[in-house]
């Protein structure tokens, strides 16, 4: 409808399949690879993933997770991927599922920070240590990530930069007499290391 009525708009964070539109966000493949690479660098050899919903962000981060495993010659094992969707309660349930694996994971990349918070709760309730027994990393760098019982390592998506860039792009589209060709701007994801994954140095 927006395209049909020539109304300018900018997509943020998620690319919708089949659209050729302005977009500002991260490459979710790169985000997933960066998080997984960090866990591997910390000595994790059985890295699990609590995946998000089956939308572009969730599938992209899963692809990045698989890409990092392949890069390091590590097998992708479907049993080590559990669905955690968006929230802490589902992250908690997904982590309980992963804890039943033998051998259990020694590192977990979570779709986002709320999912990671739920995963940490499940790990601690199982009388295991974070990060010594299982290292955990999330994504999003939400405002409370450093206030959790175990401060959470995460991938910062530079939300402020994304918002400012999207607003500037939208303003330019609105001011233009002829609609400019759609652009995609990708903001590099940034690793934020805290206690939940810090094993080396």
- Whole-model pTM? 0.89
Per-residue pLDDT for 7 more than 80?
no
pLDDT of residue 201: 57
CB burial class (10 A; 0-12, 13-18, 19+) of residue 107? Answer: buried
* Mean pLDDT, rounded, for 157-161: 84
Give domain status of residue 145, yes or no.
yes
Number of domains in the chain: 1
pLDDT of residue 182: 84
Give domain status of residue 19, yes or no.
no
Give domain status of residue 66, yes or no.
yes
Give domain status of residue 103, yes or no.
yes
pLDDT of residue 23: 85
Give domain status of residue 190, yes or no.
no
Host domain of residue 123: 28-157
Model confidence pLDDT, tens digit, residues 61-118: 999 999 999 999 999 999 999 998 888 999 999 999 999 999 999 999 999 999 999 9
Tokens for 82? 């559990």
Here the CATH number for the domain that contains residue 60 is: 3.40.50.2300
Q: What is the dihedral of CA 152, 91, 52, 29, to 10 degrees?
A: 30
Tokens for 162? 């994304």
Give domain status of residue 199, yes or no.
no
* Mean pLDDT, rounded, for 22-48: 95
């Amino acid at each position: 409808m927006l395209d049909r009525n020539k109304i300018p708009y900018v997509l943020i964070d998620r690319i919708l399949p089949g659209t050729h539109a302005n977009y500002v966000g991260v490459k979710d493949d790169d985000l997933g690879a960066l998080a997984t690479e960090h866990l591997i660098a910390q000595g994790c050899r059985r890295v699990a993933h609590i995946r998000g919903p089956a939308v572009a962000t969730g599938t992209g981060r899963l692809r990045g997770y698989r890409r990092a495993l392949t890069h390091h010659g590590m097998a992708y094992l479907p049993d080590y991927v559990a669905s955690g969707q968006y929230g802490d309660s589902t992250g908690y349930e997904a982590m309980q599922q992963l804890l039943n694996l033998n051998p259990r994971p020694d590192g977990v990349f979570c779709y986002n920070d709320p999912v990671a918070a739920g995963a940490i709760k499940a790990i601690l309730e199982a009388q295991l240590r974070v990060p010594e027994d299982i290292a955990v990393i999330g994504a999003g760098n939400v405002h409370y990530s450093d206030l959790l019982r175990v401060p959470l390592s995460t991938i910062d998506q530079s939300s402020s930069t994304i918002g400012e860039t999207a607003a500037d792009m939208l303003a330019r589209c609105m001011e233009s007499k002829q609609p400019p060709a759609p652009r995609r701007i990708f903001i590099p994801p940034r690793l934020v290391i805290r206690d939940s994954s810090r094993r080396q140095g």
